[in-house]
C-alpha cells in the first residue's frame, strides 16, 4: 500500500519554505512532487518602480548567499545597454569578490551536507573555515552578507597592497585547511555509505531537465559560463572546470570541494595580475537609452540570467530573473525515486537549493 509523506512547507529542518510530497511504499520512495511559491516577494515588480542604483540594492537581497552575483549580473545588463566599458581593474575586483563568494557558498553547503548525515564534527570544522572566508569578505567589502561591491560602471572599493596581502594569506591558509577536509570527505566510510549511489541524476536526465552549475557538473555535464561565455575578464584566468561521473550526492560533494580549490587559484591570479587604473567610471551614470540586454553569469549554484529592458527613462521598464534553483529543482523528483525516506532530506539539499532565489 502506498502512503503520502509530506515534507514542509513549514518544517523545523527547512530553512526556507518548500513542500515536497513523497509517495512511498514501506521505506522506498516511489514518486515525489515538489511545490514552490511560498517565499514570493515580488522582486521583478518592485524593480519596475526603482531607478538603476536603487535596483542594485534590491537585487542584492534576492539571495543572501549569492548577493554579489545578482547585483553584478544586473549591472552588466545596464552597462551593456548604456555601452559603458568597465575598467579592467574594476573587472578583476569583481572577479575576486565573486570567487570569495563562491568559496563561502560551497563551504556552507558542504557543512550542511555533513550535518544532515550526522557528521557534526566535520560540519563544525568546515564552517569554522568558512568563517575565515566571511571575515576576508568583510575586510574587503565592509559587509558579511550583502557586499555592496558593485556599482554601475565598476567596483565600489579598491584593493591596496595591505588588502592584497591579507587576501593572499587567507587563501594560502584556506588551501592548507582544505587538505584534511578533502581527505575526510573522500575517505570517511560513514559519509560514503550515506552519499555514494544516493540521489542519482544521470547525465541524460541532467541534460533533459536543464540542470546547471555544480549540480550538472556532478552529473558529468561539462558546462560553466565563466569558460563558455567569459564575462568580467574571466578569459584572462586559467582554471579547470571539475566534472564528476558518478552522478550521485557524493559527486556533488566532490565537485564543490574541487571548485573551492579552483576559486583559490583564480583569486591568486587576479591579485597577482591586478591592473593599474581606476576601478569604476565615477558616480555619475550616463543616461541609459531604450534597449534590452540578457546577461549570463556563473553564480555559485549555477547559471544566473538577467534580462533588463529600458525605455529611456530613469527606471527599469522590465526585469526578468532566471535563477539556478529554477533549473535544478525539477531534478528533485527524479533523484528521490527509488531511494529511502531517510535520504529524502539529503537528496533535496544536494541541489544546494535557494528557494528565496527561486520564488523571488
How wide is the angle at C-alpha 325 spanned by C-alphas 319 and 258, nearest 5°?
A: 120
E strand or H helix at 316, and its extent?
strand 316-322
Rounded distance between C-alpha atoms, residue 101 and residue 65, angstroms: 7
E strand or H helix at 171, and its extent?
helix 161-187
pLDDT tens for residues 215-243?
999 999 999 999 999 999 999 999 999 99
Distances (CA, A) of 99 to 39, 65, 103, 130: 27, 12, 6, 13
Query: What domains appear along the chain, each with residue ranges and CATH number?
Result: 1-33 (no CATH), 39-294+340-359 (1.10.645.10)
pLDDT tens for residues 61-83?
888 888 899 999 999 999 999 99
Predicted confidence at residue 1, as pLDDT, reads 65
pLDDT at 285 over 80: no
Rounded distance between C-alpha atoms, residue 98 and residue 28, angstroms: 40
Predicted confidence at residue 358, as pLDDT, reads 76
Rounded distance between C-alpha atoms, residue 244 and residue 241, angstroms: 10
- Segment 83-100 mean pLDDT: 93
As given in the structure block, the three cell numbers for residue 202 are 544521470
Per DSSP, 286 falls in state: P
As given in the structure block, the three cell numbers for residue 198 are 544516493
- Whether the Cβ atoms of residue 296 and residue 305 lie closer than 8 Å to each other: yes
What is the chain's percent helix, strand, coil content, to nearest 5? 50, 15, 35
Predicted confidence at residue 8, as pLDDT, reads 74
Binning pLDDT at 50, 70 and 90, where does residue 6 land? confident
pLDDT tens for residues 151-164?
999 999 999 999 99
pLDDT at 145 over 70: yes
- Segment 300-310 mean pLDDT: 92
Amino acid at each position: 500500500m502506498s502512503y503520502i509523506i509530506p515534507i514542509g512547507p513549514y518544517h523545523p529542518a527547512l530553512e526556507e519554505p518548500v513542500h515536497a510530497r513523497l509517495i512511498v511504499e514501506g521505506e522506498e520512495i516511489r514518486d515525489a512532487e515538489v511545490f514552490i511559491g511560498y517565499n514570493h516577494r515580488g522582486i521583478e515588480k518592485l524593480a519596475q518602480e526603482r531607478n538603476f542604483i536603487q535596483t542594485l540594492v534590491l537585487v542584492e537581497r534576492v539571495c543572501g548567499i549569492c548577493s554579489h552575483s545578482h547585483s553584478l549580473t544586473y549591472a552588466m545588463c545596464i552597462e551593456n545597454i548604456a555601452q559603458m566599458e568597465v575598467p579592467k581593474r574594476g573587472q578583476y575586483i569583481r572577479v575576486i569578490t565573486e570567487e570569495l563568494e563562491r568559496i563561502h557558498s560551497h563551504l556552507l553547503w558542504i557543512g550542511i551536507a555533513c550535518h544532515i548525515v550526522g557528521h557534526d564534527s566535520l560540519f563544525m570544522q568546515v564552517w569554522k573555515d568558512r568563517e575565515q572566508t566571511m571575515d576576508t569578505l568583510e575586510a574587503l567589502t565592509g559587509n558579511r552578507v550583502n557586499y555592496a561591491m558593485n556599482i554601475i560602471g565598476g567596483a565600489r572599493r579598491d584593493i591596496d597592497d595591505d588588502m592584497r596581502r591579507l587576501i593572499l594569506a587567507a587563501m594560502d591558509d584556506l588551501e592548507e585547511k582544505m587538505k584534511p577536509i578533502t581527505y575526510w570527505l573522500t575517505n570517511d566510510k560513514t559519509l560514503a555509505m550515506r552519499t555514494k549511489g544516493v540521489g542519482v541524476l544521470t547525465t541524460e536526465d541532467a541534460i533533459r531537465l536543464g540542470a546547471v552549475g555544480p549540480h550538472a557538473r556532478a552529473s558529468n555535464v561539462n558546462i560553466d559560463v565563466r569558460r563558455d561565455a567569459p564575462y568580467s575578464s574571466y578569459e584572462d584566468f586559467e582554471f579547470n572546470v571539475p566534472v564528476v561521473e558518478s552522478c550521485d550526492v557524493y559527486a556533488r560533494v566532490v565537485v564543490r570541494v574541487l571548485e573551492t580549490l579552483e576559486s583559490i587559484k583564480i583569486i591568486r591570479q587576479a591579485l597577482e595580475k591586478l591592473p593599474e587604473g581606476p576601478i569604476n567610471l565615477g558616480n555619475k551614470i550616463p543616461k541609459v537609452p531604450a534597449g534590452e540586454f540578457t546577461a549570463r553569469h556563473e553564480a555559485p549554484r549555477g547559471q544566473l540570467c538577467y534580462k533588463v529592458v529600458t525605455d529611456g527613462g530613469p527606471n527599469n521598464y522590465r526585469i526578468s530573473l532566471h535563477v539556478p534553483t529554477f533549473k535544478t529543482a525539477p531534478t528533485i523528483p527524479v533523484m528521490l525515486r527509488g531511494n529511502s525516506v531517510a535520504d529524502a532530506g539529503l537528496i533535496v539539499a544536494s541541489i544546494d537549493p535557494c528557494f528565496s532565489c527561486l520564488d523571488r
